[in-house]
Structure 1
Amino acid sequence: MNVLITPPDRQTGMQLRDGRVLAWSEWGATEGLPVLFCTGAGMSGSLGFGTNYLLELGLKLIAIDRPGLGASDAHPTKTLSSWVSDIQELIEAHHLMNVTAVGFSQGAPFAFALAGAGLVEAIAIVSGQDELTHPQIRPLLHSDVSRMIAEIEQDAAAFEQYFSQIATPEGLWHLIIEMSAACDRSLYLSDSFGRAYQHCLQGGFAQGTQGYVRDLVNALSPWTMKLEEIKIPVDLWYGGLDTSTVHSPDSGTTLARRLPTASHTVEPAAGGSILWTRAQAILTQLRSHLLTK
């Protein structure tokens, strides 16, 4: 499978009001319409998607290192709400207009949080994690995922401490490969893409495990935003061959029912790597919402 992977055009950051540094990677025109990329589990912002389509679409991809990952300073009590505050500072400091966002895999709740706070005009959720504690979703979960949620519910601090001791970028990479369908493994294990993805995970864990584990706890806990109240366009993209146990177990069907303005696409021949294999369609549809405002 041939997917173009390019290094960031620019890597930069800013100091937030509390003194922490927020860092990100960029691709595309410096004056392009900003697309905030909420990356997957443990990922720094060094691995983009659809970068060969950005110029023709007039977009700028901004892949943010969440606090404690990559080059962004840790937030010791990071929540979805603190993430929203950080991104609001980014948007205001750089006078960003017509902002959209993409949430991949574990990045889904972070993109939804931006939508719930009214910071973006539209979002795309791609191979996204669902709100796994939702009563319609919980019975569909793999037993390993159900067990993790139960442990967080019982004692989130103890779970975080334990998981921080065992998590590694190598372990996460092997878990991704094991959970992936054959069509996804053919991409993930290709030379250029595999190196880029593993480099991205190594960067995500550069400061240790705490940033990743905080994200995990936040993503597996009840979400603070109400999806039913999100009024902006939400594009849901899933692959019919996706076998990941941490993505939406019904390929976004329940999410689509909960969201007032959802567009729901399930590509039967795609897997969890649909972010890269259908990047042009995802970005084109996301941009179209700005044209019809």
Structure 2
Amino acid sequence: MEDARAERARIGSELDGTDEAVVSTDGGRSVSYAEYGASDGTPLVFLHGTPGSRLLGELFDEDARRSGVRLLALDRPGYGRSSPWPTRTLADTGEFVAAVLDDAGVSRAGVVGFSGGGPHALALAATRGDLVREVDVVAGATPPSLRSTRPTALRLLEVLAGTAPLLVRGGLRAQRWFAERASPSFVVSQYTTSDGQAELSDDVAELVKRDFVEALARSRRGFVTESRLLAREWDFPVTEVDRRVRLWHGGRDSNVPVEDARRMAERLPNARLTAFEEADHLHSLLRSGSRVLVRQASAAD
């Protein structure tokens, strides 16, 4: 364990002092994660969006410290510093989460999934419930059978990810190159409205940009893999999620309409939906973050 901590400190020193590690799964794949919040707090796994990275966990660093939460934010396969796993399914989530928990010395944790991380959080609870205390899903994607409408751009990407993955990866490489050099608004506009952009602090906008750039820095395979996964029916039944689930969603979310979240809540055995009527996709995360941390911390008491 001391060697693992030394490795986290070494990697973190390269990236603005953040406490980070790269560990191996049982399948021999590398998975990267960062720690935020209270080092001795209640463990909570954070699963980023599609695309996304461990860096997004920094949004909640201060709130996690105040709430007594140890936030473990990982890069899913093919994002950031984690190696690609093109053949994985949602039901494989337990393999890379278990590797992170084992390295962190944690046997059981709460889980929060944002956007494309939502299905992964539910899959973890359904297939590896022994690792999960409670689940929070924020602006989470839903199975195709529960969807009402989808933005045209997202539907096109899902089709191309299955039929022309090289084209998608080339487009993402160019998008990442431009995003690194452009104003944060180039990235933020994918997750919020023009009014929502105006409400964001410069620090939050810059972090969302860094998260996007880091997600695609070394590979674009993670996004292609997940676009295919989320375009088809999930490979686990949501009725097998026997943990408490809290859904948080924005009434103005154009990426995942709130009506889809309501249908999801009806099918989960033990779920409750909180809707922020004026919030869009990104602001659902910003509005719910502190509440998620407080409730996850209290659930461990």
TM-score, normalization: structure 1? 0.83
CA contact (8 A) 1:127 1:238 kept: yes
1:263-282 aligned at under 5 Å gives the runs 263-272=272-281, 273-282=283-292
What CA distance in whole angstroms lies between the structure 1 residues aligned with 2:235 and 2:43? 25
Counterpart residue identity of residue 120, structure 2: F
1:131-150 aligned at under 5 Å gives the runs 131=143, 133-134=144-145, 136-137=146-147, 139-146=148-155
CA contact (8 A) 2:185 2:205 kept: no
1:225 is aligned to 2:230: no
Distance 1:76 1:129, change over 3 A: closer
What CA distance in whole angstroms lies between the structure 1 residues aligned with 2:233 and 2:290? 32
1:75-94 aligned at under 5 Å gives the runs 75-94=85-104
1:1-293 aligned at under 5 Å gives the runs 9-48=18-57, 49-117=59-127, 118=129, 119-131=131-143, 133-134=144-145, 136-137=146-147, 139-146=148-155, 151=159, 156=162, 158-167=163-172, 168-169=175-176, 170=178, 174=186, 177-178=189-190, 180-188=192-200, 190-242=201-253, 244-245=254-255, 247-250=256-259, 252-272=261-281, 273-291=283-301
What CA distance in whole angstroms lies between the structure 2 residues aligned with 1:15 and 1:220? 28
Q: Report how far residue 249 of structure 1 moved.
A: 4.8
Residue aligned with 1:121, SS: strand
Distance 1:248 1:288, change over 3 A: farther
What CA distance in whole angstroms lies between the structure 1 residues aligned with 2:219 and 2:108? 35
Counterpart residue identity of residue 201, structure 1: F
TM-score, normalization: structure 2? 0.81
Counterpart residue identity of residue 89, structure 1: A
CA contact (8 A) 1:275 1:282 kept: no
Residue aligned with 2:40, SS: coil
What CA distance in whole angstroms lies between the structure 2 residues aligned with 1:111 and 1:277? 19
Unaligned runs of 5+ in 2: 1-15
What CA distance in whole angstroms lies between the structure 1 residues aligned with 2:218 and 2:26? 21
Counterpart residue identity of residue 86, structure 1: F
Show CA shifts across 1:232-262 (max 9, x none): 01110012232x33x2451511011011110
Structure (1 or 2) with the greater helix fraction:
2
Q: Report how far residue 76 of structure 1 moved.
A: 3.5
What CA distance in whole angstroms lies between the structure 2 residues aligned with 1:56 and 1:10? 18
Q: More displaced, 163-172 or 36-45? A: 163-172
What CA distance in whole angstroms lies between the structure 2 residues aligned with 1:113 and 1:232? 11
Counterpart residue identity of residue 46, structure 1: L
CA contact (8 A) 1:21 1:73 kept: yes
CA contact (8 A) 1:69 1:207 kept: yes
CA contact (8 A) 2:188 2:209 kept: no
Show CA shifts across 1:79-130 (max 9, x none): 2233321212332344313401111111111111111121211111111111
RMSD (Å), alpha carbons? 2.5
Show CA shifts across 1:207-251 (max 9, x none): 131122112211222111211221101110012232x33x24515
Q: Report how far residue 11 of structure 1 moved.
A: 1.4
Q: Report how far residue 28 of structure 1 moved.
A: 1.5
Unaligned runs of 5+ in 1: 1-6
Instruction: Name the % identity.
Output: 23
Distance 1:162 1:284, change over 3 A: same
Distance 1:19 1:145, change over 3 A: closer
